Chains A and B, each alone.
Chain A
Amino acid sequence: MDIYTNVIELNNVVKDYGDFKLDNISFTVPRGSVCGFIGQNGAGKTTTIRLMLDVIKADSGEIKLFGEDVKDNAPRLREDIGVVYDEMGFHEFMSGKDINIMMKHIYKNWDEEVFFDYLKKFSLPSKKKCGDFSRGMRMKLQIAVALSHNAKLLVMDEPTAGLDPIVRNEILDIFREFVLEEDHSIFISSHITGDLEKIADEVVFIDGGKLFLQGNKDEILERHGILKCRKDEIGSISKSLIVGVQEGAFGVDVLINDMKAAARLYPELVIDRTSLEEIMLFYVASARR
């Protein structure tokens, strides 16, 4: 099971709900990397995660985790996966101690010492009902659970949504610590691109059930840029470079997909670095046009 290069591998995965379709999704997450799964609400992030975990069945396509097909192997493979959702999911009457009792009888590799260490580290009272926890505490509790059974892969669905910046940073630090181990990987879905910019190595963009961009985060950020020009100058820019255009009060912002080529072709125009958020916004807007 340890001989694999991609911790997650999706090939031509289709899931059709009628009113929403996850259309021919293919991407890989290299072992030991942090992959950000970016998309707005309703883009298909949660559906993809549910398919990966074999909670729902794909209509077609192949899903591999740790190099193994999830079909028929999912329960065993989930031993090595820690999952964090945007909502806690544990019963509100349960305390940390109760959750420990439950989980140690579910996960073969559950380490209660590690779990209580995390509770202490996160300042979570082990005897207090988790229903009385704040949103940040609930998220930390989920992370403590996800990290206490020697998981090799963390799958997280909007873990930082609705959290204040301080707690978000704390949580990102925990993730950074987790991936220090060579074979630990993280797949994190979020629409808060700022967080992903801080920790992701790879990014996958999704919108309307379709992937529109994927690859190494730094390469994507280096490749894309915002070209600033006047409205009448757009016509002179090569169409193959343009991803999207946004008109502003003082001119036009153009997202280009090859910053070096654009700089070479149009040395007189200003090209700024861009962010994942801008990339997402431009691609989504251009797809809808």
Chain B
Amino acid sequence: MKGLIIKDLMCLRKMRATFIFVTVSSFVITVMALISARCGNIALAEQEYLTGGSDMPISPAYILWYAVAVMVLLPLASIGDSLILAFEADKNSGFAPVAGALPLSVKQRITARFITLFLTCGTGTFISLALSFILSLFTDIMTFGDFAGLVLSAASLILIFSALEMILIFLLKMKNTDYVRIISLLIMSAVFIVSILGRIIDAIRAVKPTELITDGLLFLENRWFILAAAAAVCLLVSYFVSTGIAERKRGEI
């Protein structure tokens, strides 16, 4: 089983390079922005805003908060596709017959794929947390707890996304990975919209969309454990559904 995990990680070499590039870039940009917020142009803009000398509708510090949140989420978003990339790599090389001849059960092969997902997501989360800790030293906008909340929320969302992808691949026997991606995203978006529909309507009626974003960010920062619990449930369901179907139908794993 370990061999398959190693193989999957080898398949994700390109993604690793993208992750490093995105992480380093977003980290550098965020550090520069945070330094600017302390003693640069953003600090001057904030001072102007506070003294009423600016016609900006929203505080620059607030905008910076949004931007930093996005920058913290970006590296993890870049590894959100790891599961599908591993499936695609196997499909493109015709690895399925080789895998079928290996001394591994169907369950072991699926478990290997889930472990790859955890390893990828875990490594990404760990690196993002480490960088978040460094970032928290540069700013008062967000504490390390806020950063960590954001990172853990993003990791949970990736796991939910991947769990959905896994179910779609096995349950619906979907071969087109683009459809898998799109349908998973649509399902997640639909659940998100339905769960906060009341708030969305209120924000639109009050013409205060920024409040919605603020609430969203606060939710991600402080209620990450709700998403983590949802991810755990989704992964468990996904694992048992996937192994059950694959054992019965012997699909592509």
* Interface residues, chain A, with chain B CB atoms under 8 Å away: 50, 53, 55-57, 74-79, 81, 83, 85, 87-94, 98, 101-108, 155
Measured between beta carbons, the chain B residues less than 8 angstroms from A104 are 3
Q: Is the CB of B10 within 8 A of A55?
A: no
Distance between Cα atoms of A79 and B105 in the complex (Å): 12
Distance between Cα atoms of A145 and B53 in the complex (Å): 73
Residue among A91, A94, A106 making CB contact with B104, cutoff 8 Å: A106
Distance between Cα atoms of A77 and B105 in the complex (Å): 11
Known: A78-B104, A91-B92. 12 other contacts (CB 8 A): A50-B97, A78-B102, A81-B101, A87-B97, A90-B98, A91-B7, A101-B6, A102-B7, A103-B3, A106-B4, A106-B104, A107-B103
Residue among A75, A94, A107 making CB contact with B10, cutoff 8 Å: A94
Interface residues of B in 73-101 (CB under 8 A from A): 89-90, 92-98, 100-101
Query: Contacts A53-B101, A106-B102, A106-B104 given: A89-B94 contact, CB under 8 Å?
Result: yes
Q: Size band of the B side of the interface?
A: 20 to 34
Q: Is the CB of B13 within 8 A of A93?
A: yes
Measured between beta carbons, the chain A residues less than 8 angstroms from B92 are 91
* Interface residues, chain B, with chain A CB atoms under 8 Å away: 1-4, 6-7, 10-11, 13, 89-90, 92-98, 100-105, 108, 250
Measured between beta carbons, the chain B residues less than 8 angstroms from A87 are 94, 97
Measured between beta carbons, the chain A residues less than 8 angstroms from B95 are 89-91
Distance between Cα atoms of A88 and B98 in the complex (Å): 8
B96 to nearest A CB, angstroms?
8
Q: Is the CB of B3 within 8 A of A102?
A: yes
Q: Is the CB of A102 within 8 A of B100?
A: no
Instruction: Kindly list the 7 A-B residue pairs having the minimum CB-CB distance in the complex, ordered from nearest.
Output: A106-B3, A105-B3, A55-B100, A83-B101, A89-B98, A105-B2, A78-B103
Identity of the chain B residue whose Cβ is nearest the Cβ of A86 in the assembled complex: B97
Q: Is the CB of B93 within 8 A of A91?
A: yes
Distance between Cα atoms of A75 and B104 in the complex (Å): 5
Q: Is the CB of A105 within 8 A of B10?
A: no
B218 to nearest A CB, angstroms?
43
Measured between beta carbons, the chain A residues less than 8 angstroms from B250 are 55-57
Distance between Cα atoms of A155 and B100 in the complex (Å): 13
Distance between Cα atoms of A76 and B2 in the complex (Å): 16
Residue among B13, B90, B105 making CB contact with A75, cutoff 8 Å: B105
Q: Is the CB of B103 within 8 A of A85?
A: no
